[in-house]
Structure 1
Amino acid sequence: MYDKLTDVFDKREEKDWIGLLAFSGKWRELRDGLFERVKTRAQQCEDPDDEMRLSKLRRKLMALDERVDGYHALLEEVRAKEVDMWEGFVATRRAEFSPEFFTYLTFKLEAVAQGEDDNAKESMAKDAALLLSLCEAYDEASKDQAVIEEATQTLQDILQCDSLDAMDAKIDELAMANQISPALILTASKAHMSVKESPYTSEEVKDVMAHLYFKMKDTTSRQQPKEVRILKYILSLEDPQDQRNALEEAFTPGPELEEIGSNTDLLWCEPAALLKLIDVIVENFHQSAGKKNLRGDAAAMMSPAIVERMKTLKQLIIAHFSD
């Protein structure tokens, strides 16, 4: 068995090995025996070239195995955290989310997709897409060191306020001036995570940092076009009847109400505006899927169910709410 497995790796290109490790459910049980068998075979080779080839294969495979173990541990660690902590986790550990990590994640996603657990498939797909988008957002926000330094100073200025109400007022002031940048949210997310996981930080400080971070997130989310916010909400509903009821409310003109920190936002838009948004998102998804940059990878790993739900929602809008 080990000889056959050795031949599989020997005949495949090295770039394909990570897929074999990620797909195999028994790799961890087999690897020690395989490494020992390859070592024995190399020692028994009469041809020096064969001995060198097998020794090199073993060395490279062991190195890859160690990296894959790290990727597995990293993925498990981030998935064990509350989703609200992911942004800070990525900001703190961005270097570990390497291109090879995402290659591993792609194969893990494909392996899970071949199983029968639909919940596991959907969960892994959503988590993968979120990780990729967070890494992309981090890379974009951290391009300019001067911007990061300015964001750090802004956060320090907020923390210098003498009360939580004063901090909230400062954030509202920044929002009015359109100065809550991705870099500021990134800086706040790192601070939030660092104090939350520190055993030496008081609960009061942890609560303050959590409040500031979520206040900024909530404030910036409200700066998104209302069509985006409506679509996100409707896609969060699982029941088709709930979706239809939400669409009826969303397409009914009337006064709009927004309350920061609550779930009582009342927004409406035209059906044509929501259809246009869906078309743009789906088109961008398909166009970016073939690209080799991080955005393209994110599109490729996005749950197909999300795109299909958008398409189904589009048909529902056309059938019941379009002239």
Structure 2
Amino acid sequence: MEVAKGYSLSQFCDKIIDIFMNEKPKTKEWRKFLVFREEWKKYRESFYSHCQRRADWESDPIMKEKLISLRRKVKKIDDEMEIHSELLKELQDSPTDINAIVANRRKEFTDEFFKFLTLISETHDSLEDRDAVARLAARCLAAVSAYDRTLENVETLDSAQAKFDNILNSPSLDVACEKIASLAKAKELDSSLILLINSAWASAKESTTMKNEFLKVTPCNNPSFAWVGN
């Protein structure tokens, strides 16, 4: 994206405005221009200023609104792509730290980021360079998937622990049994909660002090809990 010979900067900006408004009005086409970050950075402030000046001078209210809207939309996409570009640079600078980067910046690994990587890949003429971007994208997807699975497991365990703590904090054995029965009826006795109950059962069996009390709580005279302690 260079200013053509014989064009002033204002004429160049007018040409970009015409392209974005008329020749390629879809935002996905704009991204193909803005993906050339280093080139775009040379002209973007001039482009935004020129859009604003033209809007200020424009007497036609419809065209004025189009120019204002174009500036706003391009700026929004530009800002998004700048974040994508910064994230890509961090990944390329620290290829062995992808898992840590995902953990720190998970919200930025969006569908739009991976579309950005596809655009970056398409700018390369070399198959080797394209393959490098594809491999990086695949590693990022794997790291994101692993991170999300870990987070889901943690959230599941936290939920189970909260339910278990609620049972243990019951004012009486009858109330504890009612809570367990209610969870069973609502089908909320998930595997994580069962694991906690079984772990507590195992620990209680080894404790002379706790064994009798825990034996009273776990079966709760309810056939739904016949598995507890088996």
Q: Distance in 2 between matches of 1:66 and 1:15?
A: 15
CA contact (8 A) 1:23 1:107 kept: no
1:149/1:27 Cα in 2 relative to 1: closer, same or farther (>3 Å)?
A: same
Give me the TM-score of the superposition, normalised by structure 2. Answer: 0.57
SS at match of 1:29: helix
Q: How does 1:122-161 map to 2 (within 5 A)?
A: 122-147=131-156, 149=158
**2:93 match:** 80
Q: Distance in 2 between matches of 1:5 and 1:148?
A: 54
Q: 2:17 aligns with which of 3, 6, 16?
A: 6
Say yes or no: does 1:111 pair with 2:120.
no
Q: 2:82 aligns with which of 65, 69, 81?
A: 69
- The alpha-carbon deviation at position 3 of structure 1 amounts to 1.0
Q: Distance in 1 between matches of 2:40 and 2:151?
A: 38
Q: How does 1:80-229 map to 2 (within 5 A)?
A: 80-83=93-96, 85-112=97-124, 115-116=125-126, 118-147=127-156, 149=158
- The alpha-carbon deviation at position 6 of structure 1 amounts to 0.8
Say yes or no: does 1:44 pair with 2:84.
no
- The alpha-carbon deviation at position 23 of structure 1 amounts to 4.5
CA contact (8 A) 1:90 1:134 kept: yes
CA contact (8 A) 1:21 1:27 kept: yes
- The alpha-carbon deviation at position 147 of structure 1 amounts to 4.4
CA contact (8 A) 2:121 2:129 kept: no
- The alpha-carbon deviation at position 78 of structure 1 amounts to 1.8
1:57/1:125 Cα in 2 relative to 1: closer, same or farther (>3 Å)?
A: same
Q: Distance in 2 between matches of 1:62 and 1:146?
A: 37
- The alpha-carbon deviation at position 136 of structure 1 amounts to 2.5
**2:34 match:** 21
CA-to-aligned-CA distance 1:127-147 (integer Å, 9 cap, x gap): 122112222232233234444
Q: Distance in 2 between matches of 1:9 and 1:76?
A: 27
1:135/1:45 Cα in 2 relative to 1: closer, same or farther (>3 Å)?
A: same
CA contact (8 A) 2:117 2:133 kept: no
CA-to-aligned-CA distance 1:61-94 (integer Å, 9 cap, x gap): 11221221111111101221142x2112212211
**5+ long unaligned stretches in structure 2:** 1-11, 160-230
Q: Considering only aligned residues, what root-mean-square deviation do their CA atoms show, in Å? A: 2.2
- The alpha-carbon deviation at position 122 of structure 1 amounts to 2.8
SS at match of 1:46: coil
Greater mean deviation of Cα atoms: 88-97 or 17-26: 17-26
Q: Distance in 1 between matches of 2:18 and 2:153?
A: 48
CA contact (8 A) 2:99 2:143 kept: yes
| Greater Cα radius of gyration, structure 1 or 2 | 2
Q: Distance in 1 between matches of 2:107 and 2:55?
A: 36
CA contact (8 A) 1:142 1:148 kept: no
**2:66 match:** 53
SS at match of 2:35: helix
CA contact (8 A) 1:38 1:54 kept: yes
**Structure 2 letter corresponding to 1:108:** I
Identity in percent: 29
- Which stretches of structure 1, 4 residues or more, deviate above 3 A after TM superposition? 144-150
Q: Distance in 2 between matches of 1:30 and 1:56?
A: 19
